[in-house]
């Protein structure tokens, strides 16, 4: 059938995309660098296709990979749209370019056996910086799933939502998981407040939304031994309790309001993640217990939570911190999770944290969600460095110039003095064959990682975006191979512990 469809449509078909139902056959192909979706037979038909010919008495139609056809495909092929994943061991593989899904799925097939995968994953912040819409993020995942022939379903994550309107936009686009980020409401100074001022600061928390007084909460938490599911117990003295209430009380209240808004807005089954990872102060196990306990008391249901873990989870590089201290702290967080939950421990800024993946996989034993995003953009740049070295050199210099501005909303510590300049590159200190190696250098990785938005939108996208897409489209295999190799290293440590 592939040869016949190619002859009729003039497309180079992705063989893995050809799927037959009782009424029609669907497929994806390329004509030059443009991708098109096709259908043989029907009805029902995709909404925006035109007749290309006939095969065995059935009409063959072809149309663009646009939103109307993506939405239609999700109706006709349920596995082409997202689903809820629940407590299954999972990995979120964010895609800032909208091109990475086939490479991500190769990584899952090769190394991620048993893990559920989130393919449509992007934060509102990232969508704004890349000038993408929630619908575009969802549609790109659908086209990637069809191209690869993935039939196992996938999750979708509207990440780091901070405002009700963010929920509305991502609900409308069909997302199934919503990550609430109440970081703006966290009191990062709580650990440093002068002790005599604690009662006053606690009185300023949004106690109305918490549906309790400070004394109500004090009686609930202070002076008790809370047995932990993995053994031992947890105790909160009065000062620990007050600092936890001050630090996270308003964040809990914000999460509750967002959850209730989501329940009212949702038009289908959904799941919730809660994240306080992008804050200055680590979350102690006692604070985790307080946060989760209050969410549960107030009727919030969630499948995963991302505290601010001990150590530094900087973008694009390995974990920075003492591994033994991380293990001890993380074990206590897992104990809290198993006591209050179960739910999954979510690992944000999870890209490239290879030194702690074995620890996390062992201690959670499958109750974990790994979240990556920017590392896939870096692997796209690795492919570009191979296929279009001149373009990569331009991007690197531009990123270097933008770094000090773009780094402000990220946890990074790259030293620009260690990143090659345009002169370094121009005068041969780094030849073309060495360019891909720059993607393995700490400082260069971070500079490229956090400047993605500026690169993709420079001069309305004409300066780099169009050329990057052309370079990646010209050699899809190089792009997919880079993604599969790198993301495979991320998911492989978790596969032996995967729970369905």
Which of 65, 89, 119 is the last residue before a domain boundary?
65
pLDDT at res. 422: 80
| Average pLDDT of span 395-412 | 95
Q: What are the φ and ψ backbone dihedral angles of 44, each rounded to 5 degrees?
A: -70, 160
Q: Has residue 184 been placed in a domain?
A: yes
Q: Has residue 97 been placed in a domain?
A: yes
pLDDT at res. 432: 82
Q: Are residues 61 and 90 in the same domain?
A: no
| Average pLDDT of span 216-236 | 97
* Band (424; pLDDT cuts 50, 70, 90): confident
Q: Any idea what the CATH number is for the domain that residue 90 is in?
A: 3.20.20.70
Q: What are the φ and ψ backbone dihedral angles of 382, each rounded to 5 degrees?
A: -60, -45
* Band (409; pLDDT cuts 50, 70, 90): confident
Residue 115 has pLDDT above 70, yes or no: yes
Which of 14, 36, 65 is the last residue before a domain boundary?
65
Q: Are residues 45 and 126 in the same domain?
A: no
| Average pLDDT of span 108-120 | 98
pLDDT at res. 356: 98
pLDDT at res. 377: 98
Q: Quick check: 39 and 56 in contact, CB under 8 A?
A: no
CA distances from 331 to 123, 218, 359, 486 (A): 28, 26, 9, 27
| Average pLDDT of span 406-421 | 94
Residue 348 has pLDDT above 80, yes or no: yes
pLDDT at res. 399: 97
Q: Are residues 130 and 253 in the same domain?
A: yes
Q: How many domains does the chain have?
A: 3
pLDDT at res. 465: 97
Which of 65, 89, 111 is the last residue before a domain boundary?
65
pLDDT at res. 85: 98
Q: Are residues 140 and 7 in the same domain?
A: no
pLDDT tens, residue by residue, 392-402: 999 999 999 99
Q: Are residues 104 and 30 in the same domain?
A: no
- The catalytic residue among 95, 157, 273, 443 is 273
Omega into 266 within 30° of 0, i.e. cis? Answer: no
Q: Is 352 a catalytic residue?
A: no
Q: Are residues 276 and 320 in the same domain?
A: yes
Q: Are residues 39 and 153 in the same domain?
A: no
Q: Is 278 a catalytic residue?
A: no
Q: Has residue 283 been placed in a domain?
A: yes
Residue 427 has pLDDT above 80, yes or no: no
pLDDT at res. 259: 98
CA distances from 228 to 121, 338, 403 (A): 33, 8, 44
Residue 428 has pLDDT above 70, yes or no: no
| Average pLDDT of span 343-352 | 97
Q: Has residue 253 been placed in a domain?
A: yes
| Average pLDDT of span 294-305 | 98
Q: Are residues 397 and 369 in the same domain?
A: no
Q: Has residue 128 been placed in a domain?
A: yes
Q: Has residue 204 been placed in a domain?
A: no
* Band (429; pLDDT cuts 50, 70, 90): low
Q: Are residues 364 and 384 in the same domain?
A: no
Q: Are residues 160 and 282 in the same domain?
A: yes
Q: Are residues 94 and 243 in the same domain?
A: yes
Residue 244 has pLDDT above 70, yes or no: yes
pLDDT at res. 430: 72
pLDDT tens, residue by residue, 35-67: 999 999 999 899 999 999 999 999 999 999 999
pLDDT tens, residue by residue, 62-101: 999 999 999 999 999 999 999 999 999 999 999 999 999 9
* Band (252; pLDDT cuts 50, 70, 90): very high
Q: Are residues 129 and 55 in the same domain?
A: no
- The catalytic residue among 111, 139, 159, 294 is 159
**To the nearest whole number, what is the mean pLDDT of the chain?**
96
* Band (255; pLDDT cuts 50, 70, 90): very high
pLDDT tens, residue by residue, 121-146: 999 999 999 999 999 999 999 999 99
Q: Has residue 352 been placed in a domain?
A: yes
Q: What is the pTM of this model?
A: 0.97
pLDDT at res. 423: 83
Q: Has residue 52 been placed in a domain?
A: yes
pLDDT at res. 307: 98
Structural domain harbouring 413 = 380-487
């Amino acid at each position: 059938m592939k040869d016949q469809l190619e002859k009729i449509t003039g497309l180079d078909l992705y063989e893995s995309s050809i799927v037959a139902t009782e009424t029609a056959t669907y497929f994806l192909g390329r004509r030059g660098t443009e991708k098109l979706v096709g259908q043989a037979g029907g009805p029902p038909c995709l909404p925006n296709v035109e007749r290309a010919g006939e095969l065995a008495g059935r009409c063959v139609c072809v149309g663009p990979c646009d939103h109307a056809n993506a939405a239609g495909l999700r109706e006709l092929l349920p596995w082409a749209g997202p689903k809820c994943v629940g407590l299954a061991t999972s990995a979120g593989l964010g895609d800032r370019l909208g091109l990475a899904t086939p490479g991500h799925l190769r990584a899952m097939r090769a190394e991620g056996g048993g893990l559920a995968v989130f393919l449509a994953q992007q934060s509102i912040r990232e969508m704004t910086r890349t000038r993408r819409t929630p619908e575009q993020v969802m549609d790109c995942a659908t086209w990637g799933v069809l191209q690869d022939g993935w039939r196992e379903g996938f999750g979708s994550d509207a990440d780091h939502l901070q405002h009700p309107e963010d929920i509305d936009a991502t609900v409308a686009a069909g997302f199934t998981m919503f990550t609430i980020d109440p970081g703006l409401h966290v009191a990062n100074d709580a650990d440093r407040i002068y002790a005599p001022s604690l009662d006053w600061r606690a009185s300023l928390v949004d106690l109305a939304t918490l549906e309790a007084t400070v004394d109500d909460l004090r009686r609930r938490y202070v002076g008790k031994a809370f047995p932990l599911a993995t053994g031992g117990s947890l105790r909160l003295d009065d000062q620990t309790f007050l600092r936890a209430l001050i630090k996270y009380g308003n964040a809990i209240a914000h999460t509750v309001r967002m959850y209730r808004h989501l329940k009212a807005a949702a038009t289908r089954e959904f799941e919730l993640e809660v994240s306080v990872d992008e804050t200055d102060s680590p979350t102690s196990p006692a604070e985790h217990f307080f946060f989760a306990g209050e969410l549960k008391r107030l009727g919030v249901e969630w499948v995963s939570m991302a505290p601010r873990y001990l150590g530094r989870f900087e973008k694009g590089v390995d974990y920075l911190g003492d591994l033994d201290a991380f293990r001890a702290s993380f074990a206590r967080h897992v104990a809290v999770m198993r006591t209050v939950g179960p739910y999954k421990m979510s690992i944000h800024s999870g890209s490239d944290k290879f030194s702690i993946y074995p620890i996390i996989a062992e201690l959670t034993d499958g109750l974990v969600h790994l979240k990556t995003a920017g590392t896939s953009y870096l692997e796209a740049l690795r492919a570009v460095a191979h296929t279009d070295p001149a373009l990569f050199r331009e991007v690197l210099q531009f990123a270097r110039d933008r770094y000090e501005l773009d780094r402000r909303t990220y946890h990074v510590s790259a030293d620009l003095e260690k990143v090659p300049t345009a002169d370094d590159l121009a005068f041969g200190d780094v030849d073309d064959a060495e360019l891909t190696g720059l993607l393995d250098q700490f400082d260069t990785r971070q500079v490229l990682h956090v400047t993605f938005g500026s690169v993709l939108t420079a001069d309305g996208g004409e300066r780099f975006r169009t050329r990057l897409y052309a370079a990646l489209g010209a050699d899809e295999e190089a792009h997919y191979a880079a993604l599969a190799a790198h993301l495979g290293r991320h998911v492989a440590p978790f596969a032996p512990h995967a729970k369905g």
